[in-house]
Amino acid sequence: MALSRLEKLQVWLLKAVTGLLYGLFCLLSPRREAPAAGEQLPPVRDPLLLVSATELARRIRRKEVSSVEVVRAYIDRIQEVNPFLNAVIKDRFDAALQEASQVDKLIEEETGGEEVLEDRLPLLGVPLSVKESFALQGMPYTSGMISRKGVVSTVDCPPVALLKRAGAIPMGVTNTSELCMWAESNNHLHGVTNNPYDFERIPGGSSGGEGSILGGAGAVIGVGSDIGGSIRMPCFFCGIFGHKTTPGVLSLENQYPPCSGRQDEYCSSGPMCRYAEDLLPMLKIMAGPNARMLSLDRKVDLKTLRFFTIPHDGGSPLTYPVSKELIEIQRKVVERLEADLGVNVQEVRFPELRYGFQIWNTYMGLPDKEGKPPQPFSELMGQGQAVWPFWELLKWMMGKSEHTMAAIGLALLEKIHVGEPSAFIIQQKEKLQKELDELLGTDGVFLFPSHPRVAPKHHHPLFRVPDCAYTGTINILGLPVTQCPLGLSEEGLPLGLQVGAGKLQDRLTLEVALYLEKAFGGWRDPGAN
């Protein structure tokens, strides 16, 4: 069954608009100052920065190192790398040192022993970075909007509050894309964030500040949110681990912008970190009472799981073909799984994935159960009063718009939507959902590319908008996914893939992440290349 004439027209318009916007951007935007030849991030010198959060907490409880020493080490690292990355847009170093001092005093006075502290405060004294779209008391809460400049949060969002209650110490907040709806973390309020492995490339979005500072060893654990790949793309591009939780488990309260329409069915928060062993304890803490939904304490034997590999989306006319190096690294994962675990990894293909971008785009615009549609992006840009994107485009061309080209482009693409949602696209989604749910069950795991290519250069996503389908489609399907790093390419850029499972089977993908870290080495110091 083929696309209708209207849908073909929409595909053509999408290509035309994105091509026009990219051309205009290249012609009219100011030139970025190129990094000096061979410039790279300083290597990690302090051994405290090369330890997982789980191990740091253990050493702090045992008084092998003080929380103040750990926090100071991360302050020094952030101050060293942030001028290159522009990832942390507001720090709270003084408060963090005071809190670390209180932690050390608490440990000195504790009479119940290490086990009591581990049970009550599993992340006691460990530094934490926070995506700026998450409410963190006393810190900016703008999501990169000039019109929200000066907005400061008076509360903590639930996942952050739970991490703080577990003893984690927030170090600051990190940059996002404007209104958290783009693959690059760039806005006119806080500027452009760079990839720690190559300053000419993007760290991803919208949790790109998190990805960048974690990948650059300026943080050990952090939090992100994901409605179309906003955890997984930054984790892939920056060579770290990240988990998009099954939707409905982690609270979305006190994040900006809020979800509307049916978007809360596709959006979820999750942990981001350099070391795989931190994923599960972080998720358990962030989920609070809902952690029981995921049975995270149940042991997983990888040899009993059924593995599937999906090499690409089947050749969508909208997405960039998956690069040879990413096809090759996924093949190596398959070979390693079969050799080490004695399992058979079955290759499967789903023709419906060719319509992944249209599926994501269609479902993001569906109304909620009461029939209320999502708030238009142009209204979010105007803080409740819709902006006129064509006027904003003209203003941008004259250097007068408060909005990025990416945000203006998304508002323009909204205008392409005409008529009712495509029955054909809805049919493709429902068919794909049924096939994957039946295939995975409660013991199935799949491998899927994270993106068609490694981290693109700055602003290149303007020309390849639909490439987010590799992550976005999984949001619409409501499946948990863990992003796993798999070493570096010949260019020195992170490789990786997504590991997904059936709904509420998050523990399966987290266990696979631990295995892949051991098999492929996990995070690599970008300064050591």
Spans of the chain below 50 pLDDT? 1
Compute, in degrees rounded to 10, the torsion defined by CA atoms 491, 313, 131, 208: 30
Per-residue model confidence (pLDDT) at position 112:
84
If DSSP codes are grouped into helix, strand and coil, which group holds residue 1?
coil
b/e for 242-254, b at 16 or more Cβ within 10 A?
A: bbbbbbbbbbbeb
pLDDT of residue 392: 96
Q: Residues 21, 462: contact at Cβ < 8 Å? A: yes
pLDDT value of position 344: 98
What pLDDT, on a 0 to 100 scale, did the predictor assign at position 38?
67
Provide φ and ψ at 288, rounded to 5°. Answer: 60, -135
Q: Is the dihedral of CA 159, 514, 196, 199 positive or negative?
A: negative
Q: Is residue 107 within 8 Å of 60, Cβ to Cβ?
A: yes
Q: Which fold has domain 45-366+421-528?
A: Amidase signature (AS) enzymes (3.90.1300)
Q: Where are the beta strands (DSSP E) in 169-240?
A: 169-174, 186-187, 191-192, 221-226
Q: 485-507, pLDDT tens digit by residue?
A: 999 999 999 999 999 999 999 99
pLDDT of residue 1: 45
Instruction: List CB contacts of 223: < 8 A, sequence separation 6 or more.
Output: 128, 129, 130, 131, 134, 159, 160, 163, 210, 269, 270, 271, 272, 286
Contact 93, 25 (CB under 8 A): no
Backbone phi, psi, residue 352, to 5°? -65, -20
- For residue 359, what pLDDT is reported? 97
DSSP state of 153: -
Catalytic amino acids? 131, 206, 230
Backbone φ/ψ region at 478: left (φ over 0), alpha (ψ -120 to 50), beta: left
